[in-house]
Amino acid sequence: MATGRLGVGEMLGALNAALGPGGPVWFKETRARHLRARDFLAPRRALQARFGDEQVPEPVVTAVAGLQGPGVAPVLRCAPTPAGPGAPAAAGPLSSSTSSAPVAAYAAPARPPRQVPRVVLHCAALRGAPCTLRLSQLRAVLVADHLARALRSRGVSVRLVPAARDPHMRTFLQQLRVEWPAASESAATEALRSRALAELTSAQDGEALPPGILGRVCLKELVEEQGRSAGYDPNLDSCLVTEDLLSSLAELQEAVQNWPEDSSSGLAGTPNSGTDNCIVVHVVSCEEEFQQQKLDLLWHKLDDQAPLRQKHLVCGPVKVAGGPGTLTAPKYYELRLAQVCKASAVKHGGDLAQDPAWTEIFGILSVATIKFEMLSTAPQSQLLLTLADNSVSTKGTKSGTFVMYNCARLATLFESYKHSMEQGLYPTFPPVSSLDFSLLHDEGEWLLLFNSILPFPDLLSQTAALAYTAPGLHITARTEMVCKFLVQLSMDFSSYYNRIHILGEPRPHLFGQMFARLQLLRAVRAVLHAGLAMLGLPPLNHI
């Protein structure tokens, strides 16, 4: 029998190990119609490649059926399925062994990171003012903020650069619930300036330079040294050096070289300073990529201590369907806020925007709409925005408002139970160890557990995974995973909640099933809240 938190990753690892040497074969089912027959599947072709045309050896089937270990669910049966001959299926019931682990265990990443460097996230878009912030740059800001939260949830030490010095930018970031450091003391640029002046080529060439330009530094040799396969633009030949550029480099240099002593590195037995165990990830819009490559190479040119591992996370373009291509980030926020207020006025009546309590809720709903729109698509892909009013409807099952609406429904459910308990209609919640989860046999309950609660820790770990050792300049991130997960969770919960009457009649013989359902939904609530926290969104109690 399994003990503690069950894990999809642990289960897949045990299933693959039972097949013997070779690559992974098993995968987790997700669709309801497949889950009626099996939870995990080893496809026919994969098994044929492993064992030939023969049936899966009986010792392997026996090993699968008898799986045990930390995080591994008991296997109910192992048998061929229509997916192919010799394709075993493993299934586990909603039992105490599945659901008795602490709820908090399912709201945290699955495993602590090993050999993970410190990470400096650099988002150049934050050096300007919000009035000039394009939608593609806003996307880069939100990706960087979300990635920082995901990394920190795994214990990785993260520094964010640059500090937001513009007061209007700081206010805008607060509206967006983006956690970013405020203005700090300017880093010293003397050493970088001296090195830059020694590298300048324009004085020798007699080139007339615009005001504010110190000179030009040749970068072509660095591009050739790195090789075109690294991903640098072959058209890069030189860089105009300004005081602002040197200031940007100095801030990056300070962030890398002077790590806070109390900062957790996520790397056992490594010092708290130096660049060997540090990776710099430049999160930029596609329009800023060329300039960012110049900054990257200039850093290598002027600083012998520049980190060898600099990666570029380039966010794809943001297009507006039927709208102006020049829409700025603040105007976009104002548009969504106005739409949320309008939708709420239609639903509830009156001008709720004048109520301070509702003002806070409207701000959260607006930010939820924006973040789910910006982050639900893989950051490397193009994003198409639709600005219609129905984008903020609670009935739009793919919107952030829909997720927040179901978060509020969960809060209302537990508040209703608490109120009824205080009135003496229901008893106090019994110890979890005394609950009988075999009373849960609805398909929707298994969907919530198997597709949402159990996989969530692994999903958090995957969101924070960066292929920092991969060759090349560019890096990808899976920052779309949390938004997609929360939308699917909300759809599954909404379907279940609409069909099943959770708080039944106050009759003792019905309390067992009610408490088992409430405990399941406690775990759903914990996972939902943890997912929203990864987006910087607080849970709402009502909408």
Task: Return the axis-axis angle of helices 356-375 and 135-153, rounded to nearest 10°.
Answer: 90
Whether residue 225 has pLDDT greater than 80: no
pLDDT-based confidence at residue 403 (cuts at 50, 70, 90): very high
Nearest Cα residue to 249 out of 178, 170, 194, 167: 194
- 98 or 398, greater pLDDT: 398
pLDDT digits (tens, 9 = 90+) for 498-509: 999 999 889 999
Predicted local distance difference test score (pLDDT) of residue 28: 78
Whether residue 86 has pLDDT greater than 60: no
Instruction: Read off the DSSP letter of residue 451.
Output: I
Nearest Cα residue to 543 out of 388, 362, 373: 362
Whether residue 269 has pLDDT greater than 50: no
Distances from the Cα of 234 to the Cαs of 104, 228, 304, 314, in angstroms? 50, 7, 23, 17
Q: Which residues neighbour 200 within 8 Å (Cβ) at sequence distance 6 or greater?
A: 214, 215, 216, 217, 241
Distances from the Cα of 341 to the Cαs of 351, 540, 543, in angstroms? 8, 16, 11
pLDDT-based confidence at residue 171 (cuts at 50, 70, 90): very high
Predicted local distance difference test score (pLDDT) of residue 197: 80
- 2 or 196, greater pLDDT: 196
pLDDT-based confidence at residue 206 (cuts at 50, 70, 90): low
- Integer-rounded Cα Rg, in Å, for the chain is 27
pLDDT-based confidence at residue 2 (cuts at 50, 70, 90): very low
Residue type, 439: L
Whether residue 4 has pLDDT greater than 70: no
pLDDT-based confidence at residue 7 (cuts at 50, 70, 90): confident
Q: What is the separation, in whole angstroms, between the first and last Cα of the chain?
A: 42
The helix (H) or strand (E) run that includes residue 175 is helix 167-175
pLDDT-based confidence at residue 187 (cuts at 50, 70, 90): low
What is residue 95's three-state secondary structure? coil
Distances from the Cα of 223 to the Cαs of 232, 235, 294, 310, in angstroms? 7, 9, 10, 14
Edge-first strand order for the sheet with 40-41 is 27-28, 40-41, 89-90
Phi, psi of 167 (to 5 degrees): -60, -35
Q: How many CA atoms lie within 13 A of 322 on its CB side?
A: 3
Whether residue 272 has pLDDT greater than 70: no
The DSSP line for 266-285 is SSTT--SSSSTTEEEEEEEE
- Kindly compute the dihedral angle of the four CA atoms of residues 141, 145, 146, 150, in this order, to the nearest 10 degrees: 150
Task: Please state which of the ranges 228-237, 423-432, 452-461, 531-540 shows the lowest mean pLDDT.
Answer: 228-237
Mean pLDDT along residues 226-233? 74
Q: Which residues of 399-429 are buried (b: 16+ CB within 10 A; e: fewer)?
A: bbbbbbbbbbbbbebbeebeeeeeeeebeee
Beta strand pairing status for 238-242 and 383-386? unpaired
Mean pLDDT along residues 395-399? 67
- 158 or 216, greater pLDDT: 158
Nearest Cα residue to 142 out of 172, 102, 111, 183: 172
| Cross-strand partners of 474 | 312
What is residue 305's three-state secondary structure? coil
Kindly report the pTM of this predicted structure.
0.86
Domain boundaries, the chain: 8-92
Predicted local distance difference test score (pLDDT) of residue 56: 78
Mean pLDDT along residues 458-483? 89
Whether residue 303 has pLDDT greater than 90: no
Greatest mean pLDDT among 18-22, 235-239, 298-302, 480-484: 480-484
356, with CB counted inside 10 A (0-12, 13-18, 19+), is exposed
Nearest Cα residue to 30 out of 429, 536, 450: 450
Residue 84 has a CB neighbour count (10 Å cut-off) of 15
Greatest mean pLDDT among 118-122, 296-300, 460-464: 118-122
What is residue 118's three-state secondary structure? strand
Predicted local distance difference test score (pLDDT) of residue 114: 64
CA dist., res. 112 & res. 236, Å (int):
40
Whether residue 439 has pLDDT greater than 80: yes
Whether residue 348 has pLDDT greater than 70: no
CA dist., res. 365 & res. 476, Å (int):
28
